[in-house]
Chains A and B, each alone.
Chain A
Amino acid sequence: MSKKEFMSGDEAFAFGVKLAKPEVIAAYPITPQTIVVERLSDYVADGDLDSQYIHVESEHSAIMAALGSSAMGARTFTATSSQGLLYMAEGLPYVSGSRFPVVMMNANRATAVPWSIYNDHNDSMMFLNSGWIQVYVEDAQEALDMAIQAFRLAEDPRVMTPVMVNLDGFVLTHTYELVEIPDQELVDRFLPPYQTEHKMSLDAPKSVCIGVGPEYHMEFRYRQHHDFDHFPDVIREIDSEYREKFGRGYGVLSEQYRCEDAEAVLMTVGSITGSVREVVDDLRAEGIRVGVMKLRYLRPFPTEDILSLPESVKAIGVLDKNLSYGYEGTVYTNVNSALSRGNRRIPTKDYICGLGGRNISKENIRQIYLELLNPAAIQEGEKVSFVNLHLDQEVDKNG
């Protein structure tokens, strides 16, 4: 029987990984790492999880050890955060190009300098081009559920692509909530042991084709790219089966909340979605037609979902917890590209927020919606704005 426990996002994710029974865990434990790997280390040491825990000397070694163990056909997990993820940079396309289904948990934190261990998305956004699937979760329950789904997705023979599951640093990783823990037997049935022909073997030796010349490279990239086209169908299939077995599902690449007949829609990524849902409810209660679209996956990107927004939508805002310096938030770039692909002309505005852990209040979100309800002004005005910026004021040290 499933049971309920009061857990942090870290603990929930670690428990999800335990239920998924990885055969190898490779991680480096120093800041900005989270206690996900600490809990897993405990599980292995206590005999609750039969896994080889490789205590490596850096994040670069962690991803390379993960590459090696996945190449041997072992279910493999690693976790990191912020600068640690940046230190893994070289290994990320090695794993994705080799099509090894490593699962990684990343605690989203700001990047240096100024150095900060507080939350934003500048770390993972740097790696949208790394060939990894990227998913962002909203709460501790979704964290646990996606820990399990991520292995199933990565290892699906139609996918064979590594998955990065992103949890907002502190806001999710350190916050305790009620979490339903699925039964191990059910998880075993949903996620059988990883089996693959795609591995190093003395009995059936094959090359991993680590280098090719110009005559093959581009065709390889073309296939890697177009394989992403059918990932949404696999994600849908996995989520439906998960819902059947465990009673919880999350939709596919995105989730629309009260977007039907909405005039203004805000796009969110990660844990901020909860507060935005509440503001939507408040405004709807006042008769103001607004909705929120939670972008769960950024690779593959929910282009079709965005294009399916109703005709009533007159303006779209994007909450970007990241910034491509000198241009705009990265989610904004992607949303505009999706709209352009579908030839939909809807005024959009980028709201850069939460950088380095800056608080975003429900009042801030309400003001954004009220602004979006004037589409002509959105059309004419500045496209990139900053939420809760205090350039000329004394900054409250508590954020």
Chain B
Amino acid sequence: MLDIRWYGRGGQGAFTAARLLGRAASVYEGKYAMAYPSFGPERRGAPVWSFTRIDDRKVIDRAQPEKCDCLIVLDETLVTEKVNEVLKPESVVIMNTVKPEKYGFIQNRLVTLDATGMALQFLGRPITNVAMLGALLGVTDIVTLDHADQVVKDNFPTKLYEKNSALLKAAYASVRGGSEE
């Protein structure tokens, strides 16, 4: 069982990313997945925690997971020292920031990228969810890049798909370093 947690704000698409990952894993890779947002009223700008659980067998436990295997931060203003409480020793944190030096208090492996800059470059808008999905796959291989691209294609109209697809691949490559194909 893999628990992936997404931190963002209403309107940034953190839940869409959680759902796209779950769909790629279940519909395209034959695994089981569950995706859900932090429950409550939906408000633009309010903090949103989203969750994706992936397993080889049907996911039936619906209790809120206390800790996660990957923490993905779309909006760094949500990060305080409290994030350490949701991390396991081997968890990885992937963060959208240009100032990684601010986060020395995070005890785990920290991967950073300028997802906002990339989103502005590819989409013309600071919507970072697809970039962060690409970064997650660059770090973890939870699902293949092709399958992620496929769910992005299913989710967006053609024109938006093309821009997001380019963003997905660029973010993937940026954290993959020289090792991508």
Measuring CB to CB, which residues of chain A are less than 8 angstroms from any residue of chain B? 4-6, 117-119, 139, 170-171, 174-178, 271-275, 277-278, 357, 359-362, 398-399
Contacts and interface: CB of A to CB of B under 8 A. Distances in A.
Contacts of B61: 274-275, 278, 362
Given A174-B39, A275-B60, A398-B49, 7 more contacts: A6-B35, A118-B39, A171-B39, A176-B35, A177-B59, A178-B33, A271-B62
Contacts of A360: 63
B56 to A, nearest CB: 13
Interface residues of B, number: 23
A359 B64 contact: yes
Contact of B39 (A177, A277, A357): A357
Contacts, number: 69
Given A118-B39, A118-B40, A178-B27, A6 B33 contact: yes
Nearest to A116: B40
Interface in B6-37: 19, 22-23, 26-27, 32-37
A274 B60 contact: yes
A176 B63 contact: no
Contact of B22 (A6, A272, A273, A278): A6
Contacts of A139: 60
17 contacts: A6-B22, A118-B40, A174-B36, A175-B34, A175-B62, A176-B35, A177-B59, A178-B27, A178-B33, A274-B60, A274-B61, A274-B62, A277-B60, A278-B60, A360-B63, A362-B63, A398-B38
Contacts of B36: 170, 174-176
Interface of B: 19, 22-23, 26-27, 32-41, 49, 59-64, 66
Nearest to A171: B62
B39 A176 contact: no
A170 B38 CA distance: 9
Contacts of A357: 39
B159 to A, nearest CB: 21
B177 to A, nearest CB: 31
Most buried by A among B19, B33, B49, B63: B63
B62 A272 contact: yes
B27 A4 contact: yes
A136 B22 CA distance: 25
Given A4-B26, A117-B41, A275 B32 contact: no
B26 A6 contact: yes
Contacts of B33: 6, 176-178
Contact of A178 (B26, B37, B38): B26
A175 B63 contact: no
Contacts of B49: 398
A6 B23 contact: yes
Contact of A275 (B19, B26, B40, B63): B63
